Amino acid sequence: ASYKILLLPGDGIGPEVAHEAEKVLAWFGRAGLGTFETETDLVGGAAIDAHGVPLTEAALGLAKAADAVLFGAVGGPKWAGVPYAVRPEAGLLRLRKDLGLFANLRPAICYPALAAASSLKPELVEGLDLMIVRELTGGVYFGEPKEIVTLEDGQRRAVDTQIYTTGEIERIAAVAFDLARKRRNKVASAEKHNVMKSGVLWKDVVTRLHAEHYADVGLEHVLADNCAMQLVRNPKQYDVVVTDNLFGDILSDVAAMLTGSLGMLPSASLGAVENGTRRALYEPVHGSAPDIAGQNAANPLAMIGSLAMALRYSFGLSDAADRLDAAITRTLAGGTRTRDIAGTGVNAVGTGEMGDAIIRELEAP
Ligand code: NAI
Ligand code: MG
């Protein structure tokens, strides 16, 4: 089959890590696992420099026409002075909004070879493989009213509004249940029904959807604060955790720190199904890392791991994705390290060498 991919490398280390993902993708093409048609366009600061805006309408059109977008990272000190509405990050926000990317998937995987670098005891995280599914387009970050007003007595009052509809909860929960079926078949739904009406509705909708369509999947309800505690106490109890925008922001950062470096964390953002395909953007969690840009020092594994997610979730190529994940595991087990995960006394390789090492492992029988 043939798959259309839009590459948006962006700024800083974005192009460096995107180049390694492109190398891996080309390998899968050569190996006959699919025909991958790639286009590349500018985003973020690079697009501001060329076109005056962080995302052109043409690039947005390409994103909409693609089966998946592979996004590097945007931003940097060079664009600190541009107007807020057209700052580099606005390009990513526009993509999320116009592609309707309501589900943010953040896996927390702990490779055995890196367990010692975790913030937790190695035995608590070794072999960890959990997925946080965060609602991304609703909730308190977007709800109206959202304002700061001055009261008659001179105090100021800030208002943010948490809003969720049944439809918004259903679609994010369905993503979580569908994912769980391809994994270890367990979902934990995190909210605060004890103190929030949105939590009451969340729990109610998830319970009903589960009973009607996903009774085969294990479901547990957990209070979001308890979930944060459990993630640090015993993270391996979880498979898929589904939660709202605010709690997901926090829980996914907690989960991230269970696994070591920012350079290791992939992510996916999924949207609605249109014409049989689900809109999707895959990107590393990290930013453009201006402090190491241009030094061949960036770890490309977050970006390459994001490509593995695209193979799995957008293209249905789970064998290819397994193979890539296994190549990452073996490369790390073999001791190949970029600077961020090398630790003291270990010789680090560069960005390109890490990409080459992954391809060597893919070649290995
Ligand atoms: P950052 O993620 O770019 O860097 C934080 C630290 O982690 C730095 O010390 C960096 O060297 C290191 N790091 C990040 N990715 C790495 C990798 N792949 N390999 C090795 N080390 C890595 O976050 P920071 O410094 O807060 O932001 C830098 C710029 O990136 C800012 O302009 C920010 O707005 C932007 N940003 C963009 C994001 C995106 O495009 N989605 C997300 C986060 C930040
Ligand atoms: Mg965050």
**Quick count: other Cβ atoms within 10 Å of Cβ 319?**
11
Q: What is the share, in percent, of the chain residues with pLDDT greater than 70?
A: 100
Q: Is 322 a catalytic residue?
A: no
One-letter amino acid identity for 359?
A: I
The verdict on whether omega for the bond into residue 145 sits within 30 degrees of 0, i.e. cis, is yes
Burial class (CB in 10 A: 0-12, 13-18, 19+), 182: exposed
Residue 116: predicted pLDDT: 79
- Kindly indicate the confidence band of residue 181, based on its pLDDT and cuts at 50, 70 and 90: very high
Q: Which residues line ligand 1 (CB under 6 A)?
A: 13, 17, 73-76, 89, 92, 262-263, 283, 286-292, 298-299, 302, 340
Longest Cα pair distance anywhere in the chain, in angstroms? 74
Distance 288 CA to ligand 1 centre (A): 5
Closest ligand to the CA of 245? 2
Condensed to tens digits (0 to 9), the pLDDT of residues 190-213 reads 999 999 999 999 999 999 999 999
- Kindly indicate the confidence band of residue 38, based on its pLDDT and cuts at 50, 70 and 90: very high
Q: Is 249 a catalytic residue?
A: yes
Question: What are the CA-CA distances from residue 259 to residues 27, 52, 64, 181, 325 (Å)?
Answer: 28, 38, 33, 24, 15
Distance 273 CA to ligand 1 centre (A): 31
Residue 344: predicted pLDDT: 78
Question: Please, what is the average pLDDT of the chain?
Answer: 95
Condensed to tens digits (0 to 9), the pLDDT of residues 244-300 reads 999 999 999 899 888 768 899 999 999 988 877 889 999 999 999 999 999 999 999
One-letter amino acid identity for 80?
A: A
Q: Which domains are present in the chain?
A: 1-113+258-365 (3.40.718.10), 129-256 (3.40.718.10)
Residue in 294, 243, 283 with CA at minimum distance from that of residue 5: 283
Residue in 288, 295, 286 with CA at minimum distance from that of residue 351: 295
pTM for the structure as a whole: 0.93
DSSP assignment of 161-197, as one string? E----HHHHHHHHHHHHHHHHTTTSEEEEEE-TTT-H
Condensed to tens digits (0 to 9), the pLDDT of residues 103-153 reads 999 999 988 888 877 778 888 998 899 999 999 999 999 999 999 999 999
d(CA 198, CA 16): 42
Q: Is 356 a catalytic residue?
A: no
Residue 129: predicted pLDDT: 93
